[in-house]
Amino acid sequence: MKKFNHVPVDLQDIKARNKDGTRLYETPDGNMYPSITTVLSVRNKQGLFEWRKRVGNDVANYIARTAAARGTAVHHMCEDYLNNEDMEKHKEKFLPHALFTQLRDTMLNRVDNIRSQEAGLYSDKYGVAGRVDCIAEFDGVLSIIDFKTSTKERQDSYNESYYIQASAYAEMFEERTGIEINQICILVVTADGVCQEFVKDKKDYLPLLTDSIEEWKRKNEKAKDLYDDFIGAPI
């Protein structure tokens, strides 16, 4: 098994909070920022609504639960593997372990010099926060790395919210550490074991990040008040 090198970065943690159904993070300075996932959810609501209407709520709920459980299991395996932990404990979860093995052999072994996993990040500039899957070098380039599972192969156009989210993490990390990250990597394994990698430049998605935050503020009156309270100025 490959041994991964770790290059620790000092990051202050953030605390998750829920307020009126909105996921927030409390920063070390006491600010409360919405999660980037919550902010970007406004981009996906119409598509999710149409899908649920098409397949029915019972089927949609079953698919969502199954996909979430599979994704969580694969993610934990990726995290443990990159932390150089013993992987024997995961073999009893047959399907997730098979998908993890595909990811490992095609993409995970191209990761090294890991700065952080599951790090809490936030940005005072953008007024958002979240937890990033992995910050490490991918093919020798420092990157924001996000692991995804999917029922079927993904078209590039389906991943826009992923790219915006990863770009937000890159901005948060630079704001917290002074270390610039331009490359974002979305590593996907499908339910039938097909692996896909999507490598992008964050600069292409920063305008969409700002637009998404502004859209969320417009659609959420409470969010607007929250931003006014804690940021005090438009982005």
Quote the pLDDT of residue 151: 86
Q: DSSP letters along 81-97, please?
A: HHTT---GGGTTSHHHH
State the pTM of this model.
0.88
* All domains of the chain in start order, with CATH: 15-230 (3.90.320)
Quote the pLDDT of residue 235: 39
Q: Tell me the average confidence (pLDDT) per consecutive run of 10 residues in the chain, 235 residues long.
A: 92 89 90 93 61 56 63 94 95 91 96 97 96 97 96 91 97 98 97 95 97 88 56 42
Quote the pLDDT of residue 3: 94
Quote the pLDDT of residue 33: 94
Q: What is the CA angle 96-102-107, rounded to 5? A: 120
CA distance linking residue 48 with residue 38, whole number of Å = 14
Q: Can you read off the two tokens belonging to residue 13? A: 């943690």
Quote the pLDDT of residue 59: 53
Quote the pLDDT of residue 140: 97
